[in-house]
Amino acid sequence: MKIKNYRWIVVALLFTATLINYMDRQIIGLLKPTLEKEFNWTETDFSRIVIAFTAAYALGLLFFGRFIDKVGTRIGYSVSVVVWSVAGMLHALASSAVGFGIARFGLGVGEAGNFPAAMKAVAEWFPKKERAIATGIFNAGTSVGVVAALFVVPWILARYGWHEVFWITGAVGFVWLLFWLFFYQIPAKQNKLTEKELAYINQDENPAIDDAPRQNIKWVKLFSMPQTWAFVAGKFFIDPIYWFFLFWLPSYFSSVFHLDLSKPSIHLMVIYASTTLGSIGGGFFSSWLIRKGYAAVKARRLSLLIFAVLEMSIILSQFANDIWMAVILISLAVAVHQAWATNMFTLAADMFPKETLSSVTGIGGMAGAIGGILFPILVGYLLDLYKQQGDLAAGYKILFIGCGFTYLVTWLIIYVLTKKSTTGHSSSKIVS
Model confidence over 381-406: pLDDT tens digits? 888 888 788 877 788 888 888 888 99
Mean pLDDT calculated for residue range 421-430: 42
What pLDDT, on a 0 to 100 scale, did the predictor assign at position 396? Answer: 80
Interatomic CA distance for residues 204 and 201, integer angstroms: 8
Q: What pLDDT, in 10s, does the model give residues 150-160?
A: 888 888 988 88
What pLDDT, on a 0 to 100 scale, did the predictor assign at position 49? Answer: 85
Element (H, E) at 317: none
Interatomic CA distance for residues 382 and 390, integer angstroms: 12
CATH for the stretch 7-184+216-418: 1.20.1250.20
Q: What is the DSSP string of 394-409?
A: HHHHHHHHHHHHHHHH
Q: What percent of the chain has pLDDT over 70?
A: 93
Interatomic CA distance for residues 271 and 383, integer angstroms: 22
Amino acid identity for residue 286 in this structure: S
Element (H, E) at 193: none
What pLDDT, on a 0 to 100 scale, did the predictor assign at position 216? Answer: 61
Q: What pLDDT, in 10s, does the model give residues 260-294?
A: 766 767 888 888 788 888 888 988 898 889 888 88
Q: What pLDDT, in 10s, does the model give residues 325-362?
A: 989 998 999 899 999 988 998 898 888 887 788 888 88
What pLDDT, on a 0 to 100 scale, did the predictor assign at position 82? Answer: 96
Mean pLDDT calculated for residue range 25-38: 83
| 182 Cβ neighbours under 8 A, 6+ residues apart | none
What pLDDT, on a 0 to 100 scale, did the predictor assign at position 215? Answer: 53
Between the two ends of the chain, the Cα-to-Cα distance in Å is: 45
408-424 per-residue burial string, b: 16 or more CB within 10 A, e: under 16: eebbebbeebbeebbbe
Interatomic CA distance for residues 397 and 144, integer angstroms: 26
Q: How many CB atoms lie within 10 A of CB 46?
A: 24
Q: What pLDDT, in 10s, does the model give residues 39-88?
A: 887 777 887 888 888 788 888 988 888 899 889 999 999 999 999 999 99
Q: Contact 69/359 with Cβ under 8 angstroms?
A: yes
Bond from prior residue into 116 cis (ω within 30 degrees of 0): no
Q: What is the DSSP string of 68-116?
A: HHHH-HHHHHHHHHHHHHHHHHHGGG--SHHHHHHHHHHHHHHHTTHHH
**Dihedral (Cα; 375, 378, 379, 380), 10-degree rounding:** 120
Exposure of 222 by Cβ count < 10 A (0-12 exposed, 13-18 middle, 19+ buried)?
Answer: buried
Mean pLDDT calculated for residue range 244-257: 78
Angle subtended at Cα 210 by Cα 409 and Cα 422, rounded to the nearest 5 degrees:
25
